[in-house]
Structure 1
Amino acid sequence: MDLCYEALNGSCGKYVRPYGIHVLMLIAMMLTTIVTFIGNLLVIISIGHFKQLHTPTNQLILSLALCDFLLGLFVMPLSAVRSMQDCWYFGDFLCKLHTCIDMTLSTASIFHLVSVSAERCCAVCSPLTYHYRFGFPTVLLMISISWLIPVVFSYMSTYLELHLHGDRDFYETHVHCVGGCHVFFSHGPAVVTSLFSFYVPGLIIIGIYSRIYMVARNQARSISLQLNQLRRVYPSEGTHCRAQKATITIAIVVGVFLVCWTSFFLCNIMNPFIGYTTPPMLIDALVWFGYVNSTLNPFIYAFMHSWFRKAVRIIVTGEIFKNNSSRKQLYS
């Protein structure tokens, strides 16, 4: 087996892949990183530039896009080098910093999904009081919580090395090596981290969107009954389509979230209890599946809206540099 540092004792092993697989990995990681970077940058520019988009709701989307943009800018490139080379050549300091930023942004992205879900629930379930509940102070508080808690949690896990608590000797003997930057959690921290970063937020999101679906379905039925009572000749197809669209949107939001993150966090919580026998390459691949969630977020929360498509056209064609372009009407 090749080594990351041939001249050093205790060097990590380096797996040499076939050329074809190497090229496919490079293309996939480059595309994921570029799409994440560009997609979220377009969201940031759109909401930041056009005054019509300066709403409390869009501030949540803007903060989520910023989180995913930073993940594509600072985390994914170094993770790609590590995945391609099976080695970390940037030193222990950057390893800890990269791990801390990775945990912070990935967790913050998930927390933002909870905030967006809560905002949508209030808009659908309590439309009369929505504008009073979700003003800029409320959104600012939600954004602050979505950033601050992941920062503190990631710092404590990484720099205070709480993720090694209970299994430090095993890590030093069997995992740690020169040229490595491994994702490692001992028994207790693996459970706490998985619950904090995925399972609890995931259950909250599922619960919120289940509530949204039930309310939307009841509203559709109520509208249909009112129309029948008034004996108006309106087909029920429109009501059915609205309910169907709500169902599809909920399925996409929850489905993408679960598909991207479930595998990694199942592996993360199980690995300590099966003797850390999960292959590092599998863990690395599951981490990238989690990253894909940040790649897809712009499509789910912005690309589905007509105002974003109009904003992108203005940005791409250069109209954004014209006078008063920030006052363009993107939706009526």
Structure 2
Amino acid sequence: MSSTLHLNCLSNASEVNESICGETRQQGELPGPMYVVLAVYLFFLTIFGILVNGAVIYLYFSRREIATVSNMYIVALCLCGFLIATLGIPFAAASSIRHHWLFGDGICKLHGFLLTGLGIVMIALMTGIAIDKYIHIVWYQAHRKVTKSFALGIITLCYVYGVIWGILPLFGWNKYVLEPARLTCSVEWTGDFSNHSYAITILFTGLLIPVGVIASLYSSILKKIHFQRKSSQQLVSLARKQKMIKREKKVAITLFLMVGSFIVAWLPYSIYGFICILGYSKDIPLIWHTIPSVFAKASILWNPLIYASRSKVMKKALAETFPFLRWLIRNPDKVQTNEQKNQTSLTLLRSRTLNSSDVVVQSSSENPAISASV
């Protein structure tokens, strides 16, 4: 095996791959069973990434109740996941079967560009989703003025932002190289000042700053919902109070899952990047050069699953569109009845309150930011 690896390294004359091959010779290959595990895992991500993201995209364009302004961000996020599942992960899965990259230096650069650019687009879109939910819940009246054209403009900016950061290494600021396990390509975390400056910049702009913005906005959302519930307690019955508390807990869990999935998906890879920047990459076992990267790719499944599973409207649409998913809704007729009751209750509450408290009661009810959006 070592002689084969040596020949593979010598057969590629590019400077990029010579340095990677040299590092790989020093560390050795992954254990044989690990390649099998990675291949199965990556093919699983490919298949289910296409199905799950494709289903959400299909529902948006086929179901009117799903085609909201807020859900445009979700569909854009799913489009990223779909592209990564179709154009990115299969190359790494196929390479896992043969224990090395199969597609040459040109495809390696394209592969690195797609994964890096689309990854940054996903992070930007998740920040956009947090901003949209903040406006929708905290500034509910203002959200009515947010049109689909405005949302489309924000989404376009997110894609442009990711493409710019993804294309810069192709023009000399950092570069795309094979990762030490030789199964996938990414930016070079080690090397000279140019490599380090790019790597540090994307870690701050692509992780630390978005995490701070998302956490701050979701914290404000929870505070607003809690304040609304406290303010309207004297206007509603005990049963209604309990329902509002239950809804508040549900929103808290949803926001926790959104932030948690973001951090869990990208934090290991970011820590790995920092360690490499500090010059300790050779001290990392080969397997830990691989796990953070492939683990981050699972975000293409987590995001749509979390958004879909926390939305009654989305679950209902999935159950009606795909009969084998009817288990998602125990009693579809009851869901419709509850929606009618909520609307009736909202009308009665509005008629009993002053204009100054109308916004509080409105936002405390089944408002679109909590129940209608994904």
Shorter-chain TM band = 0.7 to 0.9
Residue 199 in structure 1 maps to residue 208 in structure 2: yes
Residues 45 and 298 in structure 2, CA contact (< 8 A), matched pair in contact too: yes
Partner of 2:128: 115
Q: Contact (CA 8 Å) 1:10, 1:177: kept in 2 or not? A: no
**Which of 169, 173, 178 does residue 162 from structure 1 map onto?**
173
Alpha-carbon distance in 2 for matches of 1:233, 1:176:
61
Is 1:260 the counterpart of 2:261 in the alignment?
A: no
Residues 3-18 of structure 1 aligned to structure 2 (within 5 Å): 3-4=4-5, 6=7, 9=10, 12=21, 13=25, 15=29, 17-18=31-32
Letter in 1 for 2:67: H
How far apart, in 1, do the equivalents of 2:94 and 2:40 lie?
12
Give the aligned partner of residue 321 of structure 1: none
Residue 127 in 1 paired to residue 140 in 2?
yes
1:246-325 correspondence runs (5 A): 246-277=251-282, 278-317=284-323
Q: Secondary structure at the match of 1:89?
A: coil
Do the aligned partners of residues 305 and 86 (structure 1) sit closer, same or farther apart at CA in structure 2, a change above 3 Å counting?
A: same
Tell me: CA distance 1:161–1:82, structure 2 relative to 1, closer, same or farther (3 Å).
farther
The equivalent of 1:327 in structure 2 is: none
**Residue of structure 1 equivalent to 2:188:** 184
Q: Does 1:238 align with 2:249?
A: no
Deviation (angstroms), 1:106:
0.8
1:38-61 CA-partner distances (Å, limit 9, x unpaired): 100000000011233222112111
Determine the C-alpha separation between the residues in 2 that align with 1:250 and 1:35.
Answer: 24
Aligned residues: 308
Aligned to 2:225: 216
Post-superposition offset of 1:26: 2.6
Query: 1:237-281, CA deviations, whole angstroms, 9 ceiling, x for partnerless residues?
Result: 222212211211111010111011011112112312134323443
For 1:31 and 1:290, the matched residues in 2 are separated by: 14
Equivalent pair of 2:222/2:252 in contact (CA under 8 Å)? yes
- Give, in whole Å, the separation in 1 of the partners of 2:296 and 2:10: 34
**Alpha-carbon distance, 1:183 to partner:** 4.2
Shift of 1:25: 2.7
Q: 1:39 matched to which residue of 2?
A: 52
CA distance in 2 between partners of 1:144 and 1:7 (Å): 41
Shift of 1:70: 0.6
Are the aligned partners of 2:111 and 2:185 in contact in 1 as well (CA < 8 Å)?
Answer: no
Structure 1 counterpart of 2:157? 145
Cα gap change, 1:16/1:256 in structure 2, threshold over 3 Å: closer, same or farther?
closer
Deviations 1:60-80 (A, max 9, x none): 111111111111111111122
Contact kept? 1:63, 1:143, Cα under 8 Å: yes
Decide whether the 8 Å contact of 1:267 with 1:283 is kept in 2.
Answer: yes
Give the partner amino acid of 1:44: I
Q: Distance in 2 between matches of 1:199 and 1:138?
A: 26
Gaps of 5+ in 1: 319-329
Pairwise mapping of residues 32-71 of structure 1 onto structure 2 (< 5 A)?
Answer: 32-71=45-84
How many angstroms apart in 2 are the aligned matches of 1:263 and 1:180? 17
User: Does the 8 A contact of 2:36 with 2:96 survive in 1?
Assistant: no
Change (3 A) 1:290 1:123: same
How far apart are the structure 2 equivalents of 1:7 and 1:116?
A: 45
CA RMSD of aligned residues (A): 3.0
1:115 Cα deviation after fit: 0.8
Q: Describe the SS at the equivalent of 1:269.
A: helix
The gaps in structure 2 that reach 5 residues or longer are 13-20, 190-194, 325-335, 341-374
Superposed CA deviations along residues 202-243 of structure 1, whole A, max 9, x for unmatched, are 11111111111111111111122444xxxx554632222122
- Normalised to the residue count of structure 1, the TM-score between the two structures is 0.83
Cα 1:2–1:25 change in 2 (3 A) is farther
Aligned to 1:323: none
Report the Cα distance in structure 2 between the residues aligned to 1:4 and 1:78, rounded to whole angstroms. 19
Is 1:264–1:283's contact at 8 Å kept on the other side of the alignment? no
Q: Evaluate the alpha carbon distance shift between residue 287 and residue 176 of structure 1 in structure 2; reply closer, same or farther with a 3 A threshold.
A: closer
Separation in 2, partners of 1:129, 1:248: 25
Q: Residue by residue, what CA displacement relative to the aligned partner does 1:66-105 show, whole Å, maximum 9, x if unpaired? A: 1111111111111223445442121111010000011111
Cα deviation, residue 184, structure 1: 1.6
Tell whether the 8 Å contact from 1:87 to 1:181 is kept in structure 2 after alignment: no
Q: What percent of counterpart residues are identical?
A: 20
CA distance in 1, matches of 2:45, 2:182: 28
Identify the structure with bigger relative contact order (alpha carbons < 8 Å, sequence gap 6+): 1
Residue 79 of structure 2 aligns with an amino acid whose one-letter code is L
Q: Which amino acid in the other structure matches residue 272 of structure 2?
A: C
Distance 2:298 2:251 in 1: 23
